[in-house]
Amino acid sequence: MNHNRLALCAVALAAATTACTGDRPASQPPGAVGTTGTLVAATALAGPGTPGVRATTVASRSIERGVSRVVTADGALELPEPPQTLAFPKPGIVREVFVHEGQAIAEGDVLARMDTAPFDLEIAGGEAEVAAASAALKKAQSGAALDTARQDLERAKNQLWSQQISRDGQCQLAKVRAENDPNRDRGDNDSGITAECDAAKALVQASEATVRVAEINLRTVEATAADDASVARARLRQAQVGLAQARDALARAEIKAPFDGAVLTVNVAAGAQAVTGPAMTVARTSPLLFVTSNLSERYVGDVREGAKASVTLTAYPDRTLSATVRHIAPGGTVDAAGGVVFKVWLDLDDSDLAVYAGMTGRVEIDAGAIGSGSFGGDVVAEGVTEGEANATETAATAETAP
């Protein structure tokens, strides 16, 4: 704190001396506000090592327009999207596992494979069912059942006609024989003639019953012919769906990488039983995003999507990565200290550094020029006392004194 105040006093004294002597750069017009004193004052108050600082620029109403300002926040690198779990389609034996945790993968790589024998059997059964259903549909559509019913009725009628002819002949022949028999006993012979005719009549009645059954069957087939085709068609569709599912299951008996990335977890082993659930977890590892963790609500209004930024990772303190604001969280969260903070997602430009999710760092987001947009009044680095802020404004004012 004492160092900050000494530096502030030095800045104020230098600014006052410059103002009194009239010394200013040749390119600066009379009455313009100098920027050097203000920027040094900002550094003195909130140096690069000051913890908890959110904004590194100290601005006042008297500072010249066009001076850039930035908003800073801590954060870390995160994966571009949530990890994805991969699973086998059904329980079975795991035959091969080709990857381990942390291994890089490319889209389409085979990561693990199950025993495919059960899947082959299901496909064979599905193909047989499709063939049977297809034949049934063709039969229903061709009208074969209707033809069969008509033929059955025709045969029944022919049989009836034959029985009727036989009945008439037998009864007539028996009657003639009985009448021409000189030794006949009329009562006994009449009884024999009646028995022969009754037997022939019984056969005719049976044939008539057969005709009636055939007629009913024909009417039933005629009424249900369209429904039979619909049922056969539905059966075929069901069989085709089952076959497609069996083939899909066979295709998924191999777990393949859905994208370029890395394997995060492996939950199966070769020779073990594969159960329902995640077999492994994979994730895209590029491009990583920088996500802020403590951007105060006081400064989130100064951040805009598309704004340029600079990211310094803890692992590479001497290197700066260029970034662009992609998205600002629509709502804030309360941190451990009770303050409201907002997440901001930034896209990193390509670089030659080896970066990984979880790396921490700090971002400086370009908030535009001082005095532009809605950024008004005095903005002081977070963590700076009111007295220090007033001293800074005094130093800035001293530069504009006549």
Pure H helices in 292-357: 297-300
Summarize pLDDT for 33-62 with one digit per residue, the tens: 333 333 333 333 333 343 343 444 333 222
Average pLDDT, the chain: 76
The pLDDT of 240-262, averaged and rounded, is 91
Residue 6, token pair as written in the block: 């000494």
Report residue 242 as tokens.
């089952």
Q: Which amino acid is at 201?
A: K
List the structure tokens of 311. 């990211």
Average pLDDT over residues 280-298: 94
- Local structure of 131: helix, strand or coil: helix
Torsion of CA 368, 346, 335, 340, to 10 degrees: 40
pLDDT of 309: 95
Q: How far apart are CA 46 and CA 5, in angstroms?
A: 12
| Ranges 20-24, 44-48, 248-252, 328-332: which has the least confidence | 44-48
Size (the chain), residues: 402
Query: Helix or strand or coil: residue 377?
Result: coil
Q: Give the pLDDT score at 183.
A: 60
Distance CA 191, CA 169 (A): 18
C-alpha distances in angstroms, 136 versus 149, 151, 233?
Answer: 17, 20, 8
Residue 102 token pair: 């942390």
Confirm if 75 and 360 have CB atoms less than 8 A apart.
yes
Neighbouring C-beta atoms of residue 374, cutoff 10 Å: 7
Distance, CA of 336 to chain centre: 33
**Model confidence over 343-401: pLDDT tens digits?**
999 999 999 999 999 999 999 999 876 555 444 334 434 444 444 444 433 333 333 33
Are 307 and 365 spatial neighbours (Cβ–Cβ below 8 Å)?
yes
For residue range 170-211, list pLDDT tens digits in order.
788 777 777 776 665 555 555 556 777 888 888 888 988 999
Distance of CA 289 to the CA centre of its chain: 20
The Cα–Cα gap between 272 and 228 comes to: 48
Q: Please report, for residues 17, 72, 92, 229, the alpha-carbon distance to residue 281 in angstroms, rounded to integers and kept in the order given.
A: 66, 34, 19, 48
Which of 363, 358, 382 lies closest to 292, judged by CA? 363
Give mean pLDDT, residues 143-167: 85
pLDDT of residue 369: 63
Residue with tokens 């004194």: 401
Here the tokens at position 2 are 């004492």
The string of DSSP codes covering 47-73 is -TT-TT------B-TTSPTT-EEEEEE
For the chain, give the percent of residues with pLDDT over 70: 69
